[in-house]
């Protein structure tokens, strides 16, 4: 999404002077450039941004708009910035980040169009983080992130044990507030933190991924922002049966060599699949008729073309809170699957089975559980 490979045509054929600037530097009322010192967090941007590749645009960067340089003339230029209409969904007000599980359904600053690959809105899932290798080499390593994870407290990340059990704290770092991995033109920058400790569940089994849960403790806390917040965790052994859950990540959009890692965070709407039903479906695969699905797992999906996939490991599966559907609780952690996007559900670590374990670790660390409970 960072560029389109075409020369900028902003201001061509006009008598006034225009310049391509980031969307948050252009006044929507006057279509003139906002001085940097006046570009504040309180400015309201109700824009539509077209993220399609290969579509002719006046500016070469997807998050840039063609904007008039102040005091040149009052002539109105051609612009790539659509004017919102009454039926255009506008970004929600800034959530109170003292509360967990607040999803920005319509994004922050702008709403995207042309999202043909299940792209999430900018800032839609503020708890989503990327687990990165410090010595990441694009020529060797596949995908942007080693794994995904969720922010459950300012200094604590919840992820899959299979993602991090082979790494030392100094070998990885955590990034929050990321969306499009190919650009840094968003108004709110991502934040990165170093890792102090990796806590692997003591009963984790590498071969079978039983008890596939880990906590990553950071050296310094993430700072709260419009696009960074915590997810809520379910109660111990809480049963979640929602049909409107979401998996998120930067992993592949299909299984095998045909799949491509995603530049923009994707979201996949998935239903929870009951444990017994999931076990039956898995027995129809190469796992065989005697396969037993461990109680530490839950399942979701089973809808062709809709699934988390390679590279999404450790990422959260979130569902509306039954008691307050406006807030989201984390039902699962992406663990494993038999292929991607088939009629076979994907398998996730069941977060509700580990709430007591998470609480115990937080108590040992002398950290509050309020960030993921209130």
Q: Which two tokens stand for residue 87?
A: 């039926």
pLDDT at 165 over 50: yes
Distance CA 348, CA 273 (A): 11
Please tell me the predicted confidence (pLDDT) of residue 65.
Answer: 83
The residue written with tokens 């910035």 in the block is: 81
Q: Is residue 365 very low, low, confident or very high in pLDDT (cuts 50, 70, 90)? A: very high
Q: Is residue 351 very low, low, confident or very high in pLDDT (cuts 50, 70, 90)? A: very high
Please tell me the predicted confidence (pLDDT) of residue 24.
Answer: 81
Nearest 10 degrees: Cα torsion 45, 265, 147, 131: -20
Please tell me the predicted confidence (pLDDT) of residue 79.
Answer: 45
Which tens digits make up the pLDDT trace of 92-141? 443 345 689 999 999 998 888 766 678 999 999 999 999 999 987 766 66
Nearest to 358 by CA among 225, 214, 217, 218: 214
pLDDT at 57 over 80: no
Please tell me the predicted confidence (pLDDT) of residue 160.
Answer: 98
pLDDT at 255 over 60: no
CB neighbourhood size of 207 (10 A):
5
Q: What is the mean pLDDT of the chain?
A: 84
Please tell me the predicted confidence (pLDDT) of residue 14.
Answer: 67
Nearest to 180 by CA among 93, 64, 92: 64
Which tens digits make up the pLDDT trace of 7-42? 467 877 666 788 888 888 888 778 888 887 776 665
CATH class of the region 110-231+356-372? mainly beta
Report strand pairing: 110-113 vs 47-50: parallel
- Domain layout of the chain by residue ranges: 1-88, 110-231+356-372, 245-351
CATH fold of the domain at 245-351: Thrombin, subunit H (2.40.10)
Please tell me the predicted confidence (pLDDT) of residue 6.
Answer: 43
What mean pLDDT comes out for the span 363-369?
98
- State how far Cα 14 lies from the chain centre: 40
What mean pLDDT comes out for the span 215-244?
96
pLDDT at 162 over 60: yes
Please tell me the predicted confidence (pLDDT) of residue 51.
Answer: 53
Distance CA 251, CA 346 (A): 14
Answer for the pair 179, 120: CB distance below 8 angstroms, yes or no.
yes
Q: Is residue 89 very low, low, confident or very high in pLDDT (cuts 50, 70, 90)? A: very low
Distance CA 18, CA 12 (A): 9
Please tell me the predicted confidence (pLDDT) of residue 44.
Answer: 56
Taking phi first (over 0 means left), then psi (-120 to 50 degrees means alpha), and beta for anything else, what does residue 297 get? beta
Distance CA 25, CA 38 (A): 9
Please tell me the predicted confidence (pLDDT) of residue 140.
Answer: 65
Please tell me the predicted confidence (pLDDT) of residue 253.
Answer: 57
DSSP per-residue string spanning 307-332: ---TT-TT-EEEEEETTEEEEEEEEE
Which tens digits make up the pLDDT trace of 60-86? 777 788 888 887 554 444 444 444 434
Nearest to 43 by CA among 25, 68, 58: 25
Residue 282, SS3?
A: helix
Report strand pairing: 18-22 vs 64-68: antiparallel
Please tell me the predicted confidence (pLDDT) of residue 87.
Answer: 44
Which tens digits make up the pLDDT trace of 299-318? 999 988 876 775 689 999 99
The pTM is what?
0.79
Residue 171, SS3?
A: helix
Angle among Cα 87, 89, 92 to the nearest 5 degrees reads 145
Please tell me the predicted confidence (pLDDT) of residue 40.
Answer: 63
H or E element in which residue 358 lies:
helix 355-364
Helix and strand tally (H, E) in the chain? Answer: 3, 17
CA distances from 26 to 14, 66, 85, 143, 328 (A): 18, 8, 18, 33, 33
If one compares 77 and 50, the residue with the highest pLDDT of the two is: 50
Angle among Cα 60, 62, 66 to the nearest 5 degrees reads 65
Please tell me the predicted confidence (pLDDT) of residue 17.
Answer: 84
* Shared fold status for 110-231+356-372 and 245-351: yes
């Amino acid at each position: 999404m960072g560029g389109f490979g075409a020369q900028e045509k902003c201001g061509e054929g006009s008598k006034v002077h225009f310049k391509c600037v980031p969307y948050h530097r252009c006044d929507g009322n006057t279509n003139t450039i906002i001085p940097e010192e006046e570009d504040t967090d309180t400015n309201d941007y109700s824009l539509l941004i077209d993220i399609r590749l290969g579509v002719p645009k006046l500016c070469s960067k997807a998050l840039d708009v063609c904007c008039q340089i102040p005091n040149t003339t009052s002539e109105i230029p051609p612009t790539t910035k659509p004017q919102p209409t009454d039926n255009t969904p506008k970004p929600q007000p800034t959530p109170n980040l003292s509360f967990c599980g607040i999803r920005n359904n319509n994004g922050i600053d702008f709403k995207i169009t042309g999202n043909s690959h299940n792209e999430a809105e900018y800032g839609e899932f503020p708890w989503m983080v990327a687990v990165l290798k410090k010595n990441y080499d694009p020529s060797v390593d596949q995908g942007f992130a080693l794994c995904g994870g969720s922010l459950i407290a300012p200094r604590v990340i919840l992820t899959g044990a299979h993602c991090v059990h082979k790494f030392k704290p100094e070998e990885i770092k955590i990034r929050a507030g990321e969306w499009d991995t190919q650009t840094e033109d968003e108004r709110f920058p991502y934040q990165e933190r170093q890792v102090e400790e990796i806590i692997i569940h003591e009963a984790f089994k590498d071969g079978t991924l039983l008890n596939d849960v880990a906590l990553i403790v950071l050296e310094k806390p993430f700072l709260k922002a419009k696009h960074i917040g915590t997810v809520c965790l379910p109660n111990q052994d809480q049963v979640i049966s929602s049909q409107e859950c979401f998996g998120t990540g930067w992993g592949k959009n299909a299984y095998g060599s045909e799949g491509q890692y995603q530049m923009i965070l994707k979201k996949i709407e998935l239903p929870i699949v009951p444990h017994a039903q999931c076990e039956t479906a898995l027995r129809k695969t190469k796992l065989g008729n005697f396969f037993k699905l461990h109680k530490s797992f839950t399942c979701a999906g089973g809808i062709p073309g809709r699934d988390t996939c390679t590279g999404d490991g450790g990422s959260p599966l979130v569902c509306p809170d039954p008691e307050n559907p406006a807030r989201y609780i984390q039902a699962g952690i992406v663990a494993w699957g038999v292929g991607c996007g088939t009629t076979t559900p994907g398998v996730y670590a069941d977060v509700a089975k580990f709430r007591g374990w998470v609480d115990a670790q937080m108590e040992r660390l002398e950290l509050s559980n309020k960030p993921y409970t209130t």
